[in-house]
Amino acid sequence: MSDRPALRIALLEDDPEQSAKVSGWIEDRGYLVGAYSSAEEFQRAFRKSSYDVIILDWMLTTGSSGLEVLNWVRKTLTSDIPIIFVTSRVAEEDIVTALQAGADDYLSKPVRQHELLARLYALARRAQPESEVLECPPYVFNTSNREVLLNDEPIKLTEKEYELALFLFRNRGRVLSRQHLLTSVWGTSAELNTRTVDTHASRLRKKLNLLATERWKLTSIYQHGYRLEEHTSPG
């Protein structure tokens, strides 16, 4: 069994029966689901949390449409979070519209369980790559022996510091909520305060030199979480 953290899936679906069915399929696969019935509820949740993959229903009975939510995600969030668009609209121009707006995949209703899970799994592998070696110069993570090198020198980290560092580098550029980090690094059953994340993040800044003056910096996002980003040289 894989020891990789469970993926967090956000589902926007206003049909309660459909939402419960799809959520059940996803949870049976071992993923975590945040299900929302309106665009407004979905957007409020994203201001407090973060996810690995999004499933959007196009036709919503009230408020903004799924297409408007898709545009909001792409304009508001700095990540390239994978998005699956689900709808009963199957005209070619609709598919083109969704893909041009930033959807990564497109499923027609009625959604079939095995097809949805296969598409989710494909996007999940993109969100959490399986490579044993992750190189983000001057850092190298070797997941086979759980070692991290900084300028070719091994850095001594605790187990959770290593897991947090690896997760941050795998999701570099993304804003990750504290709850997302707790779930992914400490496990879904962990009864921990979000201060645990802050403490470990502070240690990583020192041990891995993730400071504003360095090539990579770990930034705290007020009332939300953290983002690991790389400085880019002008020109």
CA-CA distance, 71 to 68, in Å (whole number)? 5
The 10s digit of each residue's pLDDT in 48-72 is: 788 889 999 988 887 788 889 998 8
Note the pLDDT of residue 1. 36
Angle, CA of 139, 140 and 142, to the nearest 5°: 150
**Amino acid 102: pLDDT:** 82
Choose between 21 and 99: higher pLDDT. Answer: 21
On the question of pLDDT at 165 being above 50, the answer is yes
Contact call for residues 206 and 157 (beta carbons, < 8 A): no
Q: Cα separation of 184 and 43, whole Å?
A: 21
Range with top average pLDDT, 120-134, 154-168, 171-185: 154-168
- Looking at CATH, the fold of the domain delimited by 133-230 is given as Arc Repressor Mutant, subunit A (1.10.10)
Please work out, in degrees rounded to the nearest 5, the angle formed at the alpha carbon of residue 149 by the alpha carbons of 147 and 155. Answer: 75
| Residue-level pLDDT at 131 | 62
Q: Output the pLDDT for position 127.
A: 61
pLDDT at residue number 235: 42
Distance CA 163, CA 107 (A): 34
Q: Which residue has the tokens 């891995």?
A: 208
Residue 2: predicted pLDDT: 46
DSSP codes of every residue in 120-169: HHHHHHHHS---SEEEETTEEEETTTTEEEETTEE----HHHHHHHHHHH
How do the residues of the chain divide into helix, strand and coil, expressed in percent and rounded to 5? 40, 25, 40
Which residue(s) pair with 221 in the sheet? 225
Please determine, for residue 4, whether its predicted confidence score (pLDDT) is greater than 60.
Answer: no
The predicted structure's pLDDT at residue 63: 79
Q: Is the predicted pLDDT of residue 106 greater than 70, yes or no?
A: yes
Residue recorded with tokens 């969704």: 98
Domain range 8-127, its CATH number among 3.40.50.2300, 3.30.70.1450, 3.40.640.10, 3.50.50.60:
3.40.50.2300
Q: Does pLDDT of 78 surpass 70? A: no
**Domain spans in the chain, listed from the N-terminal domain onward:** 8-127, 133-230
